Amino acid sequence: MAHGSGTRTRRSGQKKNPKPPPIHAVCRDPEIPDLDSDPARDKNKIQRLHQLGTDISIAFKKCTGDPGDGADYIDPRTALAILLFRLSKTNLDLATIYGSALSQRVGFGSDGDTDEMAKKVAWSLYQAADHNMRLETRFKGMDWVRSHPESPVGDPLVRPCAPVSVPDVGDDAHQDDKIERLHQLGRDVSAAFEACTGAQFWTPDYLDGRIALAILLVYLASTNLALIEAQGSALGGVPGHGATTDLDRSAKFAAQKFLGEADHNVRMHVRYKGLA
C-alpha cells in the first residue's frame, strides 16, 4: 500500500523491516573504556554506563509509546534524531568550555592542540546531528507558530524549541502532548545522566560528563543508523516506512556521517584498554 505520492510501496513477499537493535549494547572487547586506575572504581563506572543505557531505553519507550497507540505514537526515528541534536549541542558546549577529557582531570582539558581538536570535532558532530535531524523531523511553519502561541515550545529544564523550529509531530489534537513527552524525555535523560556520572565532581567516584556523553552519543548514533537502514527517512510521515528513494538514501548517508563523527568525538574524550 502506498503512503503518499513518491513514497515506496511494499512489494508482495518482501521481508518485514528487521527489528532494530536495543538503544544500548555491550562493550566490544577491544573498545572497553579505561575510566579509572582503581579496578573497583573502573568496574563500577562501566556498570553505571550500562545502567545509563538501560534507563534511557526505558525513558525513550515511555516517550514514543507503542505502534499500536495510533496517532499518539511518536516515530522513534524522529524522537531519537531530536534527542541526538540536543545531546550534540551539550557535547559541543562541554568541549568548548573544558576541552578534551583525555587527561582524565574533571573540569580541565588535556593539552592545547588536543583541546582545540576536541572543539572542532564537537562542532562537526553538532553539524552532522543537525543534518540527521532535518532528514527525520518535520517542522511547523511560522503560520502555525503564530496561530498557536499557547503551544508548549519551551521548558525551563531543557533547551527550549526555537519558535521557527517546532517539530511537527502530528495533528493539533496530539501535537502538544507529543511535544511535552519529548521535553519529558529530555528531563528523564538528564536525570539518568546525573545518576550515571554522580553529582560530587570532586570525588574519585565521579565519572566525567564529557566521557559519559561521548560514549552515549556513539551508541545512540549506532541505533539511529540501524533504524534508518531498516526503515528509511521518517519524513514520509508513516512510522516504520520510508519516504522517497532519494530522501531515504540521503537519510542513510547523513546517519552514517553522524556515526562517523560520533566515533571521532569519543576518541577525543575516552581512553580505551589495550588488548593485553
130 in a structural domain: yes
pLDDT given at position 165? 67
Q: What is the mean pLDDT of the chain?
A: 84
Task: Return d(Cα 150, Cα 13) in angstroms, integer.
Answer: 47
Task: Return d(Cα 251, Cα 225) in angstroms, integer.
Answer: 9
The residues with which 155 forms a beta bridge, in sequence order, are 158
pLDDT tens, residue by residue, 45-67 = 999 999 999 999 999 999 999 99
Instruction: Check if the beta carbon of residue 88 is closer than 8 Å to that of residue 129.
Output: yes
Task: Return d(Cα 168, Cα 131) in angstroms, integer.
Answer: 17
Instruction: Check if the beta carbon of residue 52 is closer than 8 Å to that of residue 215.
Output: no
pLDDT tens, residue by residue, 252-264 = 999 999 999 999 9
149 band by pLDDT with thresholds 50, 70 and 90: low
192 in a structural domain: yes
pLDDT > 90 in the chain, percent: 64
Q: Is 48 exposed, middle or buried (0-12, 13-18, 19+ CB in 10 A)?
A: middle
31 in a structural domain: no
51 in a structural domain: yes
Contacts of 222 (CB under 8 A, 6+ apart): 21, 25, 259
37 in a structural domain: no
Number of domain units in the chain = 1
Task: Return d(Cα 133, Cα 137) in angstroms, integer.
Answer: 6
The residues with which 66 forms a beta bridge, in sequence order, are none
249 in a structural domain: yes
pLDDT greater than 80 at residue 14: no
Count the alpha carbons within 13 Å of 121 in the hemisphere toward its beta carbon.
Answer: 22
Range of the domain at 167: 47-267
194 in a structural domain: yes
97 in a structural domain: yes
